[in-house]
Amino acid sequence: MRATAEANPNIALIKYWGKADAALNLPVTGSLSLTLDTAPTRTTVELDAALTADELVLGGTRQSGRPAERVSRFLDLVRAASGRDEYARIDSVNLIPTGAGLASSASGFAALAAAASAAYGLDLDGRALSRLARRGSGSASRSIFGGLVQWFAGDDAASYAEPIDRGALDLAMVVAVINDGPKSLSSTEAMNRTTGTSPFYPAWASSNPEQLAEMLAAIARADFTAVGELTESNSLRMHATMAAAWPPVRYPTAASVALLDAVLALRADGIEAYATMDAGPNVKVLCQPRNVEVITARLSSIDATARFLSAGPGQGVRLLDS
Ligand code: DP6
């Protein structure tokens, strides 16, 4: 009746952008990400027969409105699957700024899926947990697993994530946190606007599976340069597709572009660094662990106000004693 789970954020190297089915949260294309070993979300779910509605506390603050409704709708799925109808108290702590493009909905819904399914007495395997987490937030399906993770497009039964062997690839990520403020437009809204109005969306939808296939091949031969180039190219394609929506969807700020330039300059100096961005202004740089320090130093010389985190491959979701 009470369970606690922890999940880490993931950063997509081949992005998910666009829904084939909004109700089931099925993606138009597959995607691939790296689960990080930093900034987890820890969530406790406790059933309480005396409650007349779910209660959500995020970072110590009681939530109402959309975040609370989104979590309640998610718990409705767990209640339906378990045959129990009690409401629950949900207490969640994010060790990264919420809504700042650092994938907090991924770690959030992955932790919630694991804690809620355990608290309601469901015994789900990784695949079932991934499908459940997907219903809360698409990218959360990938945070169920550690390291490199692929999320499949398909119908409700076939759209889950699975870990991929990273072999000899030595991966790290430097995250430049440019802005801690809430993002201007949620990824869900931005995605729907892009699919609905960007004339470039069909090109994104047809080329993303090609880049995913190339990425899988690059991972299989442990070709870091190809993994990095595909990562940066895929992010630029996604943001170009968004920029052509109307009203335009543009997450990079001037500060982001300055860091993208710095990443190009690092490469010109022979340091392998590849940038990727999500639904916010922050820039994440894929690199090898030996270059984390030099990359962080260079980027902080460009942006003295940004905060820098570095991460390696992290583990999937886990239940804690509660
Ligand atoms: C740009 O998973 O947050 O980070 O399914 O609507 O909750 P919803 O969207 P969400 O979108 C993530 C988009 C992205 C790319 C990615 O993580 O693949």
Average pLDDT of 48-57? 98
* 132 CA → ligand 1 middle, Å: 15
Is 148 strand, coil or helix?
strand
* 34 CA → ligand 1 middle, Å: 14
pLDDT beyond 90 at 258: yes
The answer, yes or no, to whether any atom of ligand 1 lies below 6 A from the CB of 98, is no
pLDDT of residue 180: 56
Cβ partners under 8 Å of residue 76, min gap 6? none
The stretches of the chain forming alpha helices (DSSP H) are 65-82, 104-119, 126-136, 187-197, 201-220, 224-243, 254-268, 292-302
Cβ proximity of 175 and 310 under 8 Å: yes
The answer, yes or no, to whether any atom of ligand 1 lies below 6 A from the CB of 12, is yes
pLDDT of residue 74: 98
User: How many C-beta atoms lie closer than 10 Å to residue 164's C-beta?
Assistant: 17
Of ligand 1's atoms, which has the minimum distance to the CA of residue 136?
7
pLDDT beyond 70 at 98: no
pLDDT beyond 60 at 99: no
Average pLDDT of 3-10? 97
Closest C-alpha residue for ligand 1 atom 1: 278
Q: Burial-class residue 241 by CB neighbours within 10 Å (0-12, 13-18, 19+).
A: buried
pLDDT beyond 90 at 96: no
The answer, yes or no, to whether any atom of ligand 1 lies below 6 A from the CB of 139, is yes
Closest C-alpha residue for ligand 1 atom 14: 278
Percent over 70 (pLDDT), the chain: 96
The answer, yes or no, to whether any atom of ligand 1 lies below 6 A from the CB of 15, is yes
- pLDDT classification of 222: cutoffs 50, 70, 90: very high
Cβ proximity of 130 and 304 under 8 Å: no
The answer, yes or no, to whether any atom of ligand 1 lies below 6 A from the CB of 138, is yes
* 251 CA → ligand 1 middle, Å: 13
- Rounded Cα gap, residues 13 and 6, in angstroms: 23
Of ligand 1's atoms, which has the minimum distance to the CA of residue 101?
4
- pLDDT classification of 321: cutoffs 50, 70, 90: confident
pLDDT of residue 100: 46
* 192 CA → ligand 1 middle, Å: 11
Write down how long the chain is.
322
Taking only the tens place, the pLDDT of each residue in 178-200 is: 965 655 788 999 999 999 999 99
Average pLDDT of 110-135? 98
The answer, yes or no, to whether any atom of ligand 1 lies below 6 A from the CB of 26, is no
- Rounded Cα gap, residues 181 and 192, in angstroms: 22
Per the model's pLDDT, the better-predicted residue between 280 and 139 turns out to be 139
* 266 CA → ligand 1 middle, Å: 28
